[in-house]
Amino acid sequence: MYNDISLADGSTYRLEQGSYAITDLMAGYRVSQNLDLQVNANNIFDRKYYSTIANSVSYGGDAYGNPRNMMLTAKYSF
């Protein structure tokens, strides 16, 4: 993925990103018949990457992907 443009002042702007892999993990546990727990770990190696590369530098559309994060979910059924 890359962006390669020429600006009005004659300068150029090029942003490149090579291939990459993001690793996520998920584990779940049934505590009881009514209660389930789940933990998600995303981007566990904290890889820095662009999720989007825009076609214009003036709008600031380049965006990094999410850093390492975790989420715990509890589901209770009646």
| pLDDT for res 11 | 74
pLDDT digits 0-9 by tens, 21-77: 999 999 999 999 999 999 999 999 999 998 877 766 556 677 889 999 999 999 999
50 burial via Cβ count (<10 Å: 0-12, 13-18, 19+): middle
* Cα dist from 22 to 7, 49, 53, whole Å: 33, 9, 17
CA 70, distance to chain mean position in Å, is 12
Beta carbons within 10 angstroms of residue 36's beta carbon? 15
Q: What 3-state DSSP class applies to 16?
A: strand
Cβ neighbours for 45, distance < 8 A, ≥ 6 positions apart: 23, 68
| pLDDT for res 21 | 94
